[in-house]
Amino acid sequence: MSDKNISAILYSKGDLRLEERDIPTPGKGEVQVSIHSVGICGSDVHYWTHGAIGDFIVKAPMVLGHESSGIVTALGEGVKHLKVGDRVALEPGVPCRACDYCKTGRYNLCPDVEFHATPPYHGTLARLITHAADFCFKLPDHVSFEEGALLEPLSVGIHACKRAGVTVGDNVLICGAGPIGLVNLLTAKAMGAATVCVTDIDEGRLKVAKTLGANHTVLVTSRDAKALASQVKECMDGKIDITIECSGAESSIQLGIFATKSGGVLVLVGLGPAEVKLPIVDAAVREVDIRGIFRYCNTYPTALAMVASGAVNVKPLVTHHFALEKTLDAFETARTGAGGAIKVVIDCFRK
Looking at the chain, the whole-number percentage of residues with pLDDT higher than 70 is: 99
Task: Flag whether 325 is in a domain.
Answer: yes
Question: Per-residue pLDDT for 58 more than 80?
Answer: yes
Residue 350: per-residue pLDDT: 59
pLDDT digit string, tens, across residues 300-351: 999 999 999 999 999 999 999 999 999 999 999 999 999 999 999 999 985 5
Q: Are residues 131 and 49 in the same domain?
A: yes
Give the Cα separation of 93 and 267 in Å (integer): 22
Task: Flag whether 309 is in a domain.
Answer: no
Task: Flag whether 132 is in a domain.
Answer: yes
Q: Are residues 132 and 45 in the same domain?
A: yes
Contact at 8 Å (CB) between 70 and 82?
Answer: no
Give the Cα separation of 128 and 88 in Å (integer): 13
The C-alpha R_g of the chain, in whole angstroms, comes to: 20
Look up residue 260 and give its DSSP letter.
Answer: S
Residue 4: per-residue pLDDT: 82
Q: Are residues 126 and 182 in the same domain?
A: no
Task: Flag whether 170 is in a domain.
Answer: yes
Q: How many residues does the structure list for the chain?
A: 351
The CATH number that applies at residue 130 is: 3.90.180.10
Q: Are residues 240 and 341 in the same domain?
A: no
Residue 2: per-residue pLDDT: 42
Task: Flag whether 298 is in a domain.
Answer: no
**Residue at a domain's end among 260, 292, 324:** 292
Residue 311: per-residue pLDDT: 97
Please enumerate in sequence order all residues whose Cβ is within 8 A of that of 137, keeping only pairs 6 or more positions apart, or say none. 88, 89, 90, 91, 148, 151, 300, 301, 304
Q: Are residues 203 and 254 in the same domain?
A: yes
Q: Are residues 87 and 167 in the same domain?
A: no
Question: Per-residue pLDDT for 1 more than 50?
Answer: no
Task: Flag whether 326 is in a domain.
Answer: yes
Q: What is the maximal distance between C-alpha atoms in the chain? A: 64
Q: Are residues 263 and 318 in the same domain?
A: no
Task: Compute CA 85 distance to the chain's CA centroid, rounded to the nearest angstrom.
Answer: 26
Residue 28 CB burial class (10 angstroms; 0-12, 13-18, ≥19)? exposed
Full domain range(s) for residue 25 = 6-138+314-347
Q: What is the mean pLDDT of residues 144-173?
A: 98
pLDDT digit string, tens, across residues 118-136: 999 999 999 999 999 999 9
- 3 pLDDT tier (thresholds 50, 70, 90): low
Mean pLDDT score of the chain: 96
Residue 176: left if φ>0, alpha if ψ -120 to 50, beta else—which one? Answer: left
Domain count, the chain: 2
The dihedrals phi and psi of 317, each to the nearest 5 degrees, come to -70, -25
Q: Are residues 176 and 128 in the same domain?
A: no
Task: Flag whether 21 is in a domain.
Answer: yes
Q: Are residues 318 and 287 in the same domain?
A: no
The CATH number that applies at residue 177 is: 3.40.50.720
Q: Are residues 197 and 278 in the same domain?
A: yes
Task: Compute CA 43 distance to the chain's CA centroid, rounded to the nearest angstrom.
Answer: 9
Give the Cα separation of 136 and 122 in Å (integer): 17
Looking at the chain, the whole-number percentage of residues with pLDDT higher than 90 is: 96
Residue 198 CB burial class (10 angstroms; 0-12, 13-18, ≥19)? buried
pLDDT digit string, tens, across residues 175-186: 999 999 999 999
**Count of Cβ atoms closer than 10 Å to residue 122 Cβ:** 23
Question: Per-residue pLDDT for 139 more than 50?
Answer: yes
**Count of Cβ atoms closer than 10 Å to residue 41 Cβ:** 24
pLDDT digit string, tens, across residues 301-312: 999 999 999 999
Q: Are residues 256 and 286 in the same domain?
A: yes
Task: Flag whether 281 is in a domain.
Answer: yes
Prediction pTM value: 0.96
